[in-house]
Structure 1
Amino acid sequence: MSLIEVLPHPAGTLVALSGGGYTPHAAVADLIDNAISAGAKVISLHLDISGEGVLSVEDDGRGMDQETLTEAMRVSTGWGTVRADDDLGRFGTGMKAAALHLSEVGRFTVSSAAADGTGTAITMDLRQIEKEDRWVVHREDRMSLKRGTRVDIIGPLFPRRQEEASAGLMALSGHLRVTFAAQLQGGLKIMLQGKSLEPWALCTSDLPGMTSMSSRPLKGRVRVTPFILPTDTEDPMVEGPLGRQAHAGFHVHRNGRAIVSGGWLGMSAGKRGSGERNRIRLLVEIGPEHDDLWKVTLPKSGCTLPQMYRKPLKLLLDEVLSRAGRQRAVRTDVGTRRRNREAWTNDGLIRREHPLVKKVFELSSDVAAVEQLLAVLEGGHQDG
């Protein structure tokens, strides 16, 4: 037997990577991940629809010198290294795959400088790589640049007509506000066409009428927190950019960054379209160490529920569905609501964020038992 080297086809490999589950929204988010990992505090996105069109993603992060930028253009750079806790990277292919996915002509330029003054620009052109049949890029040195990095995608996947482009940017805005809600709340600034994006957290008791249940730890430092939406609301901040039904189900966050913002990860959750089903959101928090187990995708826009978590999450899901059903059925009288307005919701459920309730959870060694007790009290409140 002999050992034979089988080299990948350069252009074919890049085409496969750029099409590996990406959407335009996921590709832009992947570029923002890189900026955050570089310590950026301000990230600016700008779409120019004139001519071929250019989508620019610029940050004020650490920037890269000539050698570092050249290495960053290598596919799977940094593969096998341990990711820092705040690193949102995954495979070391994100910038290349995301930028090429976004470019209809297969060309983008990265300009970067580690300090104000002199920097480097590198252009990756899929057509040139295909012509040369080699992993080649064009580099320009000693450019006058300020500290940070800028990615210019030529011929981006956005409509050229102003009205349609504006609608596309509005949809992108909603996606980024949800995906990076935690980072935006933590001080990150993302600018889109010069306008600062506000966080849009979908799993928080701060939303009007939202009911939260106690967080449950799972094996391997995974935590899940269930939320139940109010029965009726027209508040878009509660419904989410895609609507209540689309955002129902699991919300998987990796280092606070949303990977999944709705869907059931292959689990059964009541009848499709049912009111209880559509009012449930379960926030699952994982870290970079769970990437392989959860099979986080290349664009970081999907994952697979590990078998070891299916049973405990199914039990929790059934519990939340049952509670949402009780909530819909409750009809408490006005006097009772007034007397208990601080501890009870209008739908007859005990507020988990009430100071006394939170204190009980903190002092208890059996969170599940406390949750069961509160459910019993809620049932009695309903019967009364």
Structure 2
Amino acid sequence: MDSNVIRLDPEPSILIESLRDIGYSFNSALADIVDNSISANASSIRILAIPSSEFKIGIIDDGEGLDRDDLKQAMRLGSNDPRQKRALNDLGRFGLGLKTASFSQCRRLTVISRRDDNVAAFTWDLDRVVAQNNWSVIEHTNPEDIPFFGELGESGTMVLWEKLDRLTGERGSGKVNHPRIISEAQDYLSLVFHRYLAGERGLNRISIQVNNLCLSPIDPFNTKHHASQSSPAEQICPGVTMQSFTLPHRSHYDSQQEYEYYGLNGGYLKSQGIYLYRAKRLILYGTWFGLAKKTALTQLTRVKIDVDVNQDEVWKIDVKKVSAQMPEGVRARVKSLITTIGTPSKKTYRRRATRLTSPDVFPAWDVVQDGEKRIYRINRKHPVIANLTNSLDPIDSKALDTTLSLIESSFPTESLFYDFANSEENVALPALQDEAFDDAAKTFFSSLKQAGRDDETILSIMHYAEPFQSRWQETLGALGIKEQ
């Protein structure tokens, strides 16, 4: 069979615009540049995002730097072979990240690097590529006039983004909320690189600054909290280890702000699941990979899976390093452990539910088991309710019982479940006003006193009963008692 080989080179002006739409977000693009700095053994990475009419971003590190030939190669699209075996600390893979991440945000990318007192600088200007329709970069022989050049140290690299049209619009016509963009980037980097920022064992500790603000690591497992629970780390297969964590319940935090901090941006329900790390850099999080549903009972469960850099192809980690697919061998093992993994989180909530409905603390609500159903009813034996019932004549007592039954039967179960599942921290019960609270405390105490309980026993019961437990000093004040 006769055949001809015809060369079809891609049109630079068309392909360069297509490369901009791989799917990077601003934060993931920024993280990809930080990856290069870490791979270059940088200990300090500074990000300067100057909110001006011509928004510019500079990422400067103190890494090993590149000479002219190496930098020229690094500016080439596809500068590395993804099939090559990677160094353990190499966060790159495709040789595309520097360029595609940058192109996704800006139309002008400049990289300056200093090594052994030699400085090299090259620029990709996409407008020039489109106009001339060829793959050519600009080499700077006198880079001193490039913005932020003076920030470069004795060795290291600076990546400069200019013409950030994806943020500012064409010709800077769009309005940019600089504080929001910068704040979200700080949170994202603090989470993605938290193990490097903390100087985890086996890693060189790095410092990341954004506009001179030093980032603190956001540990999604809250491992330093005394109420956090963790399982032993397990090697699932060569190059893959797993460890599960159960975060503390809200009651263990000193403030609502601290509790919400560890809920991350999506809250506890959405942030539960697997946290996948490649070379101890967070790739993606808050997913069960289709192995389980996200439920309110398992929302405190987070699972850390570490894979090494040679697992990329098996896990199908993409060029942006924000998505992956769990291989079947790992999937089978994790699926078999799902029930065990979520048990501590479920126990945390079930223990609290049991305590709040225990008859020993006279809950306002009873849970009655009726076959497979659990029915919630207002506790008629609660001292305050019983005291009111006993003070009424039979007709009014019956009317009260009818009223309570109406409240029980119209309880907004579906609405409460939906709100609780989506944002537990934003669900609240109305608080008793001061006068009503004092009356309830006095009535509760006197009712149990009339039933023959001694003072110490009654106070012990009230100390574990709501709403008195959470307002204990007010309870003592209402009863005229000073705590010793």
Report the counterpart of residue 201 of structure 1 in structure 2. Answer: 219
Closer, same or farther in 2 for the Cα pair 1:11/1:279, shift >3 Å? farther
Aligned ranges for residues 124-163 of structure 1 at < 5 Å? 124-141=124-141, 143=143, 146-156=154-164, 157-158=166-167
Alignment gaps of 5+ in structure 1: 334-384
More relative contact order in 1 or in 2 (CA 8 Å, sep 6+)? Answer: 1
Amino acid at match of 1:300: K
CA contact (8 A) 1:175 1:241 kept: no
**Which position in structure 2 is the counterpart of 1:323?**
344
Instruction: Summarize the alignment of residues 1-384 of structure 1 with structure 2, pairs less than 5 Å apart.
Output: 1-79=3-81, 80-103=83-106, 106-116=107-117, 118-141=118-141, 143=143, 146-156=154-164, 157-158=166-167, 164-186=177-199, 187-207=205-225, 209-232=227-250, 233=253, 234=256, 235=258, 236-269=260-293, 272=294, 274-330=295-351
The structure with the largest alpha-carbon Rg is 2
Q: Percent identity?
A: 26
Which one has a larger percent helix, Structure 1 or Structure 2?
2
The whole-number CA distance in structure 2 between the counterparts of 1:49 and 1:124 is: 23
Q: What is the CA-CA distance between 1:110 and the residue it aligns to?
A: 0.9
Distance of 2:225 and 2:21 partners within structure 1: 36
One-letter code of the match for 1:255? A
1:158-201 CA distances to partner (integer Å, 9 max, x unpaired)?
46899921121111111000100111112200010001101111
1:274-299 alpha-carbon deviations (Å, 9 max, x no partner):
32232211111001110001011111
- The TM-score with structure 1 as length reference comes to 0.79
**Contact 1:112–1:148 (CA<8 Å) still a contact in 2?**
yes
Structure 1 contact 34–89 (Cα < 8 Å) conserved: yes
Distance 1:140 1:178 in 2: 36
Asked if the contact 1:120–1:142 (Cα under 8 Å) also holds between the matched residues in 2, the reply is no
Deviation per CA, 1:39-98, whole angstroms, max 9, x where unpaired? 111110011122321011111111111111111110110214321001111210111111
One-letter amino acid matched to 2:343: S
The amino acid of 1:57's aligned partner reads I
Check whether the contact 1:202–1:238 (CA below 8 A) recurs between aligned residues.
Answer: yes
List per-residue Cα deviations over 1:322-363 (Å, max 9, x = no partner).
332223212598xxxxxxxxxxxxxxxxxxxxxxxxxxxxxx
Secondary structure of 2:287's counterpart equals: coil
CA contact (8 A) 1:210 1:230 kept: yes
C-alpha separation in 2, matches of 1:176 and 1:29? 7
- Once the two structures are superposed, residues 125-150 of structure 1 have per-residue CA deviations (whole angstroms, 9 ceiling, x without a partner) of 11211222221011012546642111
| RMSD across aligned positions (CA) | 2.2
Contact 2:190–2:217 at 8 Å: present in 1 too? yes
On the 8 A contact 2:116/2:155 being kept in 1, the answer is yes
Matching residue's letter, 2:67: D
CA contact (8 A) 2:273 2:288 kept: yes
How many angstroms apart in 1 are the aligned matches of 2:47 and 2:303? 31
Larger deviation: 204-213 or 67-76? 204-213
- Letter of the 2:218 partner, please give it: W
SS in 2 for 1:129: helix
Note if contact 2:292-2:338 (Cα within 8 Å) is conserved in structure 1: no
